[in-house]
Every structure is written in C-alpha cells, then in structure tokens.
Structure 1
Amino acid sequence: MKIAQGSTVELHFVIRLEDGSIAENTRNYPAPACLVLGDGSLTEGFEACLIGLEAGNKQSFTLPPEQAFGSANPDNVHYFERSRFNDGAPAEVGAIIAFSQPNGQEIPGIVRSVEGDSVTVDFNHPLAGQTINFDVEILKVS
C-alpha cells in the first residue's frame, strides 16, 4: 500500500543539518514514529516526501527552509526585561522557556542573548532557516 493523505505510517527518520549534525533520530527512541498524513505532525514539505512511498522504502530528501521549518521571521524575536525571569525560567543564553500567550496556550522561546536588563527571546522554530536532509525508512503503511 502506498502512502497517501490520511494514511497511518510507521517510520524511522533522521533529520540532519547541512553540516551533518543530527537534529532528530527516531532510532534513539524505544519505538518508531507513527503518524497520520495530514494530522499536522509534519510540515507539508515533509509529508510531500512521503506520498507514494510504501513499506520497505528508504529515501533521502533535501528540503530548503521554506519546505522544512520555514524561514526565520525577525518579527518572532522579542525583547523582555530581565526582571520577568527567575530560577525556574532563567535568563541564560540557550535556555528554552515556555511563555504563556493571552489565550492560555504556551509557546517555547529560546534565549538568544542577555545584555544588561534586556533579554532577547527567539520564538522561531529552532530549525527555521535551515536546509534539512531528511532520511526515511517506511516500516508500515495502513
């Protein structure tokens, strides 16, 4: 059976950056990934790579930022006063902190810099702006 929209797919995947570093590898987990195409688990670009594949297929794809996690948006970088941070949410470069939105949902931000009383937080996806190498092994399609 070939993968199509609505298919349930069990797979292993590796996401590599252009420098060869691995951002994600499902073989490091106790079980392979399982998703339904179209459920929002993957971006449209990643899903398009899977369409037409079937169990036993192994493929490698290179996705530009626009098809992977998008381009970095400078409007998603915000500046906060250092006083808004505490031991539970430290103002330390590299810290990933959950920020509450007005609707109650939380969104993660990465502290990019701390200068005096100003903390720069980036709300872009951590892989935004990156070209991604996407290796997949399809285990099961239903």
Structure 2
Amino acid sequence: MTAITASSEVIMHFTIKLEDGSVADTTHNAGKPAKLVMGDGSLTENFETCLLGLKEGESSSFTLAPEDAFGQPNPDNIHHMDRRHFGGETPAEEGAIIAFSGPQGQEIPGIVTAVTGDSVTVDFNHPLAGKTVIFDVEIISVQ
C-alpha cells in the first residue's frame, strides 16, 4: 500500500475536536471525505506532517498544541470599527460572524466580540486560535 508523501493526493475523513471533546469541524457531516493534495496550502504544514507515512485504510489521532494548529491569537487582529459600517446584512451583534473584504479583495471572516456605543470590536483571529486540537484522520486512498 502506498504511504502518504509530500506530493500525495489523499482522500480522507477527518474530525477536528477540542480538548473537551466538542467537534469543531468534520467531513462526516457532509457525508463525503475531503480530497487533499499535499502541499497545496489547504492544510497547515503541521497538519500535513501528521499525515506523512500513513497508508490507505489507516486511522490515527494527533493532539496539536495551539502553535502547531491555528496559532495563538494575535492582538493586532482585533479591530475597533465604527458602528455606522454595520446594519442590514452585517449586524453589529456580539457573536455575529461577518465576511469583510481584505486588502487583496479576499474575504476575511471576523467575529463581533463587543458592541459599546458607536464602537464595534471585531476579532479576525481564527476561531480555533489559542486552542489545543485533536486531529482524527481516516485515510481512504493515497495516490
């Protein structure tokens, strides 16, 4: 059987869980596995390193510290914005996740963490930043 290398195409099911066992993301909800080309940037280098050497039919579980998963929260990614920029499809409500346009026109999701008077605090850190995660994988095929 073929083992995963730095250039493999991999079809796999995965689940990313937090330490309390809650599921942050899984391919099982969609009912179909994920297709990954190693090195294409869809997974971080540390997640890809976990997969190296696994073979078709194998399952494994890895615990990744925040630095090895989604990083630590960066205070520079927390922005205070004028409430006038919100409304309609972009409500200024705590917990709202809003897609903002980045400098190159890409969408960047931000989470509204506080609304105080005319100021809205938006956190652009990855929702899993600062968290230890458990990465469960089930390798379906390797090419």
For normalisation by structure 1, the TM-score amounts to: 0.97
CA RMSD of aligned residues (A): 0.9
**Residues 75-126 of structure 1 deviation map (CA, whole Å, 9 limit, x = unaligned):** 1000001111011111111111111123322211111111111100000111
Secondary structure of the corresponding residue to residue 113 of structure 2? strand
Query: Which residue of structure 2 lines up, in the alignment, with residue 109 of structure 1?
Result: 110
1:6 to 2:7 alignment: yes
> Which residue matches 2:131?
130
1:91 lines up with 2:92 in the alignment: yes
Q: In the alignment, what sits opposite 2:76?
A: 75
Question: What stretches of structure 1 move > 3 A for 4+ residues in a row?
Answer: none
Q: Helix, strand or coil for the counterpart of 1:28? A: coil
TM-score (norm 2): 0.96
Percent sequence identity is 63
Alignment deviations for residues 57-79 of structure 1 (CA, whole Å, 9 cap, x no partner) = 11010000111011110110000
The gaps in structure 2 that reach 5 residues or longer are: none
Q: Which moved more, 1:111-120 or 1:93-102?
A: 93-102
Distance 2:130 2:93 in 1: 23
**CA–CA distance in structure 2, aligned partners of residues 62 and 139 of structure 1:** 21
Displacement, 1:29?
A: 0.8
Unaligned 5+ runs, structure 1: none
Shift in Å at residue 23 of structure 1? 0.3
